[in-house]
Structure 1
């Protein structure tokens, strides 16, 4: 039974939240309209990845017939002949609307967006995938200090909760530069060999790897390699947005 102190604290927290909402009302990350962190009209207007048009291998939004992202020429530029993962899916195309959501979530600290993003990601998981746990690409130490939280971990934890699967925190935090400022080739150099699994960590056999944005694939490629070295048999990747 709650004590008088608990009741007072509950009322105080509710009053503080109401005051904050009055002074600084919640606004949509896309259109800035007051109300929700992602309003229904904007949610409907997002550029969703069409499974029937997407590449069945790397998930590129329009690669079902001939993919420009995972063909032999493109893979050769990254020093590979095959994709390291078993499949990739993304919820939306990374356009200006998706970029606003990601920036508001990561750089402005609107953590409530993790729920909306995770729900869309969960719906993008193909029925044939059968992971028994989730992992996430951790933010670098500098990014975590700057933002005050690990955006990848929070997103993965929310997806894991919605899929009712355990979350495996298996990676050593990488020391990499912010990928957003780098060219395509520099992204590959920045992530090459930078991902390691924590010593003694148990890596699930079938794992779903979570990240927020798929740009060149450099981060997910290297993270998948690390999971494979640690014993993962199958690795699928899932992101909120996909650059095209």
Structure 2
């Protein structure tokens, strides 16, 4: 027997086997069709041990991409973010999918990535999961926090350890502007994070500025170690 579901990304039919068990327990985890799944490009091969970027021999130094070398050579930023793990290439397909998710209010798209996020986090050591927050203004504009949605649809418990000051959209800033941006985060409960290993969640790792700003203030507030997980790199 078969039951028909719609792909959360393209809305085409996803055909999956139906068993009598499904009358009592929903066991079908297929949220996206095989075509869309095939367009998701998993990061693979040798990757930067700091940010997950796929490495080319001439653009690396001791296992780090040159971008992360610059971050770690900067005394203002060195040592705050232990490592970022990203799942997929930020290719044209994923760029369009994330745009629908973030900017067009399609919350259900978070479910398309839930199994990928849950599987990866299962193998990552952490005490507390902290989604990168939106400012109040951006939250009102979008209606939901995409980072928190990715965690919650994956069945993960999160803690809102950070508040964010409203600024111009990061996508409109150059790398240099992002690095020099004043601290945009505040810690809500230092006692809760003190001595803890924090796992930050966000959708995209671009320059690493947002995650490092968050990691910096968390560590300065007493957190032991900060890692991050993002969908795209």
Does residue 104 in structure 1 map to residue 100 in structure 2? Answer: yes
Counterpart residue number, 1:154: 149
The answer to whether the Cα contact below 8 Å between 1:172 and 1:197 also exists between their aligned partners in 2 is yes
Q: How many residue pairs align between the two structures?
A: 207
Aligned-partner SS, 1:208: strand
Report how far residue 221 of structure 1 moved. 0.2
Aligned-partner SS, 2:12: coil
Report how far residue 84 of structure 1 moved. 1.7
Counterpart residue number, 2:138: 143
Alpha-carbon RMSD across the aligned residues, in angstroms, is: 2.7
**TM-score of the superposed pair, with normalisation by structure 2:** 0.77
Structure 2 residue ranges without an equivalent (≥5): 15-30
1:27-64 CA deviation, whole Å, 9 max, x = no partner?
A: 653xx4533674221112211111x4211222212268
Give me the whole-angstrom Cα distance separating, in 2, the residues matched to 1:55 and 1:123. Answer: 21
Which region of structure 1 is more displaced relative to structure 2, 144-153 or 118-127?
118-127
Counterpart residue number, 2:22: none
Report how far residue 210 of structure 1 moved. 0.3
Does residue 231 in structure 1 map to residue 227 in structure 2? Answer: no
Does residue 196 in structure 1 map to residue 191 in structure 2? Answer: no
Does residue 46 in structure 1 map to residue 40 in structure 2? Answer: yes
Give me the whole-angstrom Cα distance separating, in 2, the residues matched to 1:26 and 1:178. Answer: 33
**TM-score of the superposed pair, with normalisation by structure 1:** 0.74
Give me the whole-angstrom Cα distance separating, in 2, the residues matched to 1:213 and 1:112. Answer: 18
Counterpart residue number, 2:66: 68
Does residue 179 in structure 1 map to residue 170 in structure 2? Answer: yes
Moved over 4 A (4+): 25-28, 78-81
Report how far residue 75 of structure 1 moved. 4.6
Give me the whole-angstrom Cα distance separating, in 1, the residues matched to 2:78 and 2:190. Answer: 29
Report how far residue 155 of structure 1 moved. 1.7
Give me the whole-angstrom Cα distance separating, in 1, the residues matched to 2:49 and 2:143. Answer: 36
Aligned-partner SS, 2:66: coil
For residues 11-26 of structure 1, the aligned pairs below 5 Å read none
Structure 1 residue ranges without an equivalent (≥5): 1-24
For residues 84-123 of structure 1, the aligned pairs below 5 Å read 84-123=80-119
Which region of structure 1 is more displaced relative to structure 2, 201-210 or 137-146?
201-210
Give me the whole-angstrom Cα distance separating, in 1, the residues matched to 2:161 and 2:77. Answer: 27
Change (3 A) 1:200 1:206: closer
Counterpart residue number, 1:10: none
The answer to whether the Cα contact below 8 Å between 1:70 and 1:83 also exists between their aligned partners in 2 is no
